[in-house]
Amino acid sequence: MWRFRGTDVAAARALVEAAFDAGITLFDTADIYGPDNNEDFGAAEALLGRVFAEAPALRDKMVLASKGGISMGVPYDSSPAYLASAIDASLTRLRCDNIDLYQIHRPDLLAHPQEVARALDDARTAGKITAIGVSNHTPQQTAALAEFLPVPIVSHQPEFSALTTAPLFDGLFDQAMARGMAILAWSPLGGGRLANPQDARATAVAELLDKKAAETGVDRAAAAYSWIMAHPARPIPIVGTQNAARIATIPDAYKPQWTRAEWYDVLQASMGEKLP
């Protein structure tokens, strides 16, 4: 919901309902979503809150995820006081009393993980959030936070695509599999670089995705999502389209099936070299 924007509540509700129609139940937003769209801080949450006000039943149908810890101009603040205020502000904008999955958006290097854990667990025990996740955290940062929490960290949200493959090698996917954490892969189309390749590396990856897409009658995006989903960590692509017709095609990601050789061909094209 990074690009979820505007003032047309009917149009916003139509996008939410289109996602449900496509079988999507996880909606991932954040308090910082707004300024990137030339809107106010919290605008995406506030728009979703207006949708809930109009159609309260939609809230209960979804897994609602949000994020906090980015403060305009700071840039990061995961101090207990700030996190407590950020969670309350998100709930106010969303017009609900609970967030299913609350994630620290980016690590605050000046916050001790014990302080962060205390703030998150206080919100959890108060019923304001149900589960705790992290976004853009290293495995080591995640492990440090987990040491001070009485409940597991349930999710990682890294950037991951056929063009951004670091989580395969930096231990993040390994940690997620070892701990049973969900992976929410943001920018699964490489920030648009797979849709519109601008260099030889992206072009080579796109050509392999197109080959797989042609076999099953889907588009390149579906092939890119399916490549992500083929990993045994079972990553969930966070799809950002704000077009109802495009939302309807998201389930096409289940159609392509990758052989090991095909999957590794894409990875090696992305790396620009053969694996040893």
Q: Please indicate whether residue 225 is annotated as part of the active site.
A: no
Q: Which amino acid appears at position 195 of this protein?
A: A
Cβ–Cβ under 8 Å, residues 228 and 235: yes
Of 54, 114, 118, residue with least CA distance to 83: 118
All CATH 3.20.20.100 domain ranges of the chain, comma separated, are: 1-157
Nearest-angstrom CA–CA distance, 167 and 134: 14
The CA R_g of the chain, rounded to the nearest whole Å, is 19
DSSP string, 209-264: HHHHHHHHT--HHHHHHHHHHTSTT--EE------HHHHHTGGGGGS----HHHHH
Q: What is the rounded average pLDDT for all residues in the chain?
A: 98
Q: What is the pLDDT of residues 191-232, one digit of tens each?
A: 999 999 999 999 999 999 999 999 999 999 999 999 999 999
Q: What is the pLDDT of residues 112-146, one digit of tens each?
A: 999 999 999 999 999 999 999 999 999 999 999 99
Which fold is adopted by the domain 1-157? Answer: TIM Barrel (3.20.20)
Cβ–Cβ under 8 Å, residues 224 and 161: yes
Say how many residues make up the chain. Answer: 276
Tokens of 152: 């597991």
Tell how strand 26-28 and strand 129-135 pair up. unpaired
pLDDT at residue number 173: 98
Q: What is the layout of strands, in order, in the sheet containing 182-185?
A: 26-28, 63-68, 99-104, 129-135, 153-157, 182-185, 236-237
Q: What is the average pLDDT across 250-268?
A: 98
Q: What is the pLDDT of residues 5-28, one digit of tens each?
A: 999 999 999 999 999 999 999 999
